[in-house]
Amino acid sequence: MNYAYTKDGVTVAAVLDTGHRRADGKSPVRIRVNYAGRRVYFSTGKVMTREEWERMATSKSRAAIDVRQDIESSYNIVRDIVQELTTAGAFSIDALNRRLKTASGGDLNTIFKARIEDLRTTGRIGNMLCYVGVLKGVERFAGEHISLSAINVGWVERYAEHLRDEGKKQTTIAIHLRTLRAVLNIARREGVLKEAQYPFGRGRYEIQEGEGRKMALTLEQIGKIARYDDGTDTTAKYRDYWLFLYLCNGINVADVVRLRYSDIVDGEIRFVRQKTARTTKTVREIRVTITDPMRRIIERRGQPRDASDTFIFPVLTGKETAAERKMKTQFFTRAINRRMADVAEALGIDHISTYTARHSFATVLKRAGANIAYISESLGHQDLKTTETYLASFERDERQKNAELLTKF
């Protein structure tokens, strides 16, 4: 049989391990993985003689076909995990062992922890923290050893009700359930969760999204923010940062801190959202025309351009670990939000945050008549449904305004 796969220096092959021949002359069939001078074997549970192994590829007997399919299934599990890890740039023998432990069974908690470790290894700290938080919620509900056999639609319904009893809003509940669904998708893909058990989808449990609070500001309110000055440089600095987020297509803080001078090309800022860079097949580059207000903010708040790869804003150095980068980004976000909360109070505006800047960008364009497909592309969304969620408050405003027209007589 010719089961062999190679990618990025990792080789996977199904082999007859004659180095561990048994007394009856048969040897175990194993899946061998070679990487960086290391060689590891994973069992298929099958043993055979050299002659049986050589006949396996062409034999048409029912017994031989069944054994061949079992070996192929074991090989495919290892190959698929290797392919996923190498594609993410996160392959190691330890990572492979963790993933195979998940694939070989275990409980829901184990699969969660394996996913958390994968995210930590690949530097996706924000996602990792989300999974950590959801795992804690799952364990509060059902304990530290949750059998996969217990998972069904009723279990998910009870878990959702448990989250409501904890006081969580529907938006937060939806986040928890989507994360749980992602983990169960791994279990289903690895063959440790039966399709009949899988609780999500049409005719099963369908996750209800929260409507969300109104976040977008009006142009008049944004103008007041742009002109606000309490006489302190700290307020002016964070006001500038907030305005830059708004003007730069509602860019996320995680992306703005990574902007480099080399991202400025022909009067445009070009970047790829960190949130989707590893999770989509097609990398979508966002392009933002640098307006005069944006240029002035860069001049006031940007750091000197020592080289083309210099970060525009002085938040990161480029020497941080993924965890340190996440921590600095969170600290920067909190600093902006704290100062903008003071600005909101001074101006009599309900709420101003980095998230408000993103919603406001989308809604202002919609109010001005921009096509929703253009808005979606500008935000870097992968589908229009996400953009429509952002614009829900705009639609409510329109309905209310139109309803009031009916009584203007």
Q: Is there a single domain that holds both residue 296 and residue 396?
A: yes
The encoded tokens of residue 141 equal 């509900």
End position of a domain, from candidates 137, 167, 189: 189
Q: Is there a single domain that holds both residue 290 and residue 381?
A: yes
Residue 407 is predicted with a pLDDT of 46
Number of domains in the chain: 3
* Residue 173 belongs to a domain: yes
Q: Are 187 and 148 in contact (CB under 8 A)?
A: yes
Pairing of strands 268-272, 4-7: unpaired
Q: Is there a single domain that holds both residue 21 and residue 134?
A: no
H-state helical runs in 88-218: 93-103, 108-121, 125-142, 153-165, 170-189
Residue 15 is predicted with a pLDDT of 92
CA dihedral over 154, 157, 163, 167, signed as positive or negative: negative
Q: Is there a single domain that holds both residue 41 and residue 170?
A: no
* Residue 283 belongs to a domain: yes
End position of a domain, from candidates 58, 89, 120: 89
The tens digit of pLDDT for each residue in 154-186 reads 999 999 999 999 999 888 999 999 999 999 988
End position of a domain, from candidates 39, 61, 89: 89
Q: Is there a single domain that holds both residue 258 and residue 330?
A: yes
Q: Is there a single domain that holds both residue 226 and residue 185?
A: no
pLDDT at 5 over 70: yes
CA dihedral over 63, 64, 68, 69, signed as positive or negative: negative
Q: Is there a single domain that holds both residue 280 and residue 385?
A: yes
The residue range of the domain holding 227 is: 219-405
H-state helical runs in 250-353: 253-256, 274-277, 292-301, 322-347
Q: Are 344 and 351 in contact (CB under 8 A)?
A: yes
* Model confidence band, residue 127 (pLDDT cutoffs 50, 70, 90): confident
* Residue 207 belongs to a domain: no
* Model confidence band, residue 328 (pLDDT cutoffs 50, 70, 90): very high
Q: Is there a single domain that holds both residue 261 and residue 380?
A: yes
CA dihedral over 236, 238, 240, 242, signed as positive or negative: negative
Q: Is there a single domain that holds both residue 34 and residue 128?
A: no
We report the CATH number of the domain holding residue 381 as: 1.10.443.10
Q: Give, in degrees to the nearest 5, the angle at Cα 367 between 364 and 370.
A: 90
The encoded tokens of residue 9 equal 């220096």
* Residue 242 belongs to a domain: yes
First to last CA, the chain: 84
Q: Is there a single domain that holds both residue 400 and residue 337?
A: yes
The tens digit of pLDDT for each residue in 268-284 reads 988 888 876 555 556 67
Left if phi > 0, otherwise alpha if psi is -120 to 50, otherwise beta: which for 105?
Answer: left
* Residue 210 belongs to a domain: no
Q: Is there a single domain that holds both residue 126 and residue 253?
A: no
Left if phi > 0, otherwise alpha if psi is -120 to 50, otherwise beta: which for 216?
Answer: beta
* Model confidence band, residue 303 (pLDDT cutoffs 50, 70, 90): very high
Which among 132, 84, 361, 329 is positioned nearest to 244, based on CA atoms?
Answer: 361
Q: Is there a single domain that holds both residue 171 and residue 120?
A: yes
pLDDT at 138 over 60: yes
Q: How far apart are CA 249 and CA 358, in angstroms?
A: 7
* Residue 97 belongs to a domain: no
